[in-house]
Chain A
Amino acid sequence: GQQLNQSPQSMFIQEGEDVSMNCTSSSIFNTWLWYKQDPGEGPVLLIALYKAGELTSNGRLTAQFGITRKDSFLNISASIPSDVGIYFCAGQRMNRDDKIIFGKGTRLHILP
């Protein structure tokens, strides 16, 4: 079935560093989404993107909808301890039902 390729799989960074992760697909997507999951909790929506080329920020988070509609990235600036968690990209394909497909997640670890 359709898959999203999310990378990196995990990241180990120092507090204060900037973080970048991305998602690619072989198919065109109509919507790109970024979620974060804290341990023991459900995913929470961070940013939603609806137009090719769109760049959207949410505090220290910035995400972009790729021009080709086949990719998206998420940047986190000046990371803090509470940024630790799993970040998922997700997408909805064009002219399809309302199913969204999730990437396999990027696990963010912050070193003390």
Chain B
Amino acid sequence: QKEVEQDPGPLSVPEGAIVSLNCTYSNSAFQYFMWYRQYSRKGPELLMYTYSSGNKEDGRFTAQVDKSSKYISLFIRDSQPSDSATYLCAMSALRDDKIIFGKGTRLHILP
């Protein structure tokens, strides 16, 4: 079993819809959880960063962490065509530890 599992998609949704992206993980030591957005042929851009369980909101983005289920989610409200990208979940056990990434989910927002 891989440490981090993420459905690669592609996921296509109409503009304005709510998008739900998810990852599961197997390592209970993970405490730091991140979501990155990566446009084609670019480096990943940090979107959300959370520590331990709970919710975090930033504009149209909400990150949720459920450590008991080893499950994290990213919600995008009022999705826009400019949100079309690959979304990578990532996590680490310690503050200055290596980050383990999921494979990424390709998201297409249809105008």
A and B bind? no
Show the binding face of A for B, using Cβ within 8 Å.
Answer: none
